[in-house]
Structure 1
Amino acid sequence: MSDLAVFAPLLPRVEAIVREAGGIALDYFRPGAPTHAEVTHKSGGSPVTEADLRIDNFLRAQLSLLAPDFGWLSEETADSPDRLGRKALFVVDPIDGTRGFASGDPCFAVCVALVAGDRPVFGVVHAPALDETFVASVGGGARRNGAPIAVSTRRELTGARLSAPDSIASDLKRAGLSFRQQPRLPSLAMRLLRVADGALDAALARKNSYDWDIAAADLILHEAGGVLTDFSGQTPSYNRPEPRHPALVAGPPGLQAELIRAARGGAAGASPEARTAQAAPAPRP
């Protein structure tokens, strides 16, 4: 029996657990207003709320019961090299888009991927305030709220709907590119998933995203027919000793080569200030 056949029966239960975790987030969420959850800040300056920590504890307890031999990697749990020797591990972001969540923006999500080897085999991203759940498994296609999704068929960057951090978008425009810039979503996972469901043609992210930011969305995007790579065209690898990634580009296969050329050209022509902003670890990707 293949590893995928072993892991696949876990997916419905994982989806149910992730959706329950989303309910915990809604206990603290106030649309258009600051959360009533306690907010503190990590050493790098990024916020963490009591909702993040409560969801992290809930997910670890529930997923460990489901698969006690699997490893664990989460934004809100101290990392351990023990995960590197496990057959599979859960990669978790209790709330992707914490800044938005804390300020009342509904674009946040609970993300869980199961990684075996160096790639995800299934992923669940649940955006409770938007009532959207994205699910995919290797070879099984991607779905949003049970319906199949697919990336756009766009093949040229001119006029494309693109979401990126302002510094990157400005670099692309200075390089002479013309596209329809869309608002940068506070959740990187949801930015990638808007490419997966065709609402965006492409998206870019700064360097220094982590496994937990992208693993689940990466697989969902892939199963929706899309591509996620760095500026050299390499797909992300997961469960490495350092779970951090370079700048990334997401889009349909027919657009990816032009996206990479554009991203490289924009990066090459960026001002020193913009290059510093792209490299800094403090802002969210």
Structure 2
Amino acid sequence: MDSQNSPKNSKSFSSKIFTFIYKIVGFLLGARIFMTVLLTFALYVSTFFLFNQMESLRAFVFDFKVHGIIFCTILTISAGGIINQFYDREKDKLTKPFRSRIQSFIRQKYYLYSYIVLNSVSLTIAFLISPRVFGFFLFYQFLMWFYSHKLAKMLIINNLTFVSLALYPFFGMLVYYQTFSDKVFLMAVFLFLVLLIMDILKDQLTKKADLLFNYHTLATDISSKINKQILILLMIFNSIISSLIIISIGANSVMSYYFIGSLVIHLLIIFILILNKKNSNFISLNLFRIWIFIGILSMLTDGIITKY
């Protein structure tokens, strides 16, 4: 009798294990933990090597206020990913079927509980740092919710808000260290335009789902030809910004080589879009993703060489 029940018990146990794993993976995907890790890395690299011009590595390591602000950022962005997933869940079933299948193992109410907990912990830590930091993150959390609830369906505003939210933590660190310069401003414009181009390309890939669920984007509201022309104009303008950055920082640093490479990348993606192949938007989007990661590594390498 025991031997007959054993396979069933074993199967039931393995099924529970797989369900638990799916729930963990589903939660991590909902919180966009992988993008959050990349953003955390980018925040630390840019904070120490770009914004922080005075502190030594030792002083930076023991600056718990900065670590607290970055930790609040991580929690807030994870919460933002969860609330965005909550509002976009029907659309995601079409655009991200594999992710949606895994996330279906967790009830939506648990995502909402996680959203509240993450934001609450973030605000508590922010308040302990200072009332100004608390206000900074309270406004950030409100904007993230309002974007997911309302702005994500509004033409052009959705793109501009999405990019602004992505750069908001970097703006906070810039104000914290008061590192204002032409170089930093030009780099901010460069990154803003890259993220804007990427978001427009992403909208091209989700055009059918956006039309179905009444999301207004450039891809849904104007022709593909005009949309492509806008993308090319943005890349030409960003190439000009890259040239200005090269002039600003000189031509003998790792970052200068990165922005020289950016000129090539922009020209390559313009060529890919003009060819108008089936996967042109997908290839272009992923080239930009890789290039941003290379940019973070370039900043890290350049900072190490400069400081040490």
> Scaled by the length of structure 2, what TM-score is found?
0.27
TM-score w.r.t. length of structure 1: 0.29
Q: Which protein has the bigger strand share?
A: 1
> Relative to total residues, which structure has the larger helix share, 1 or 2?
2
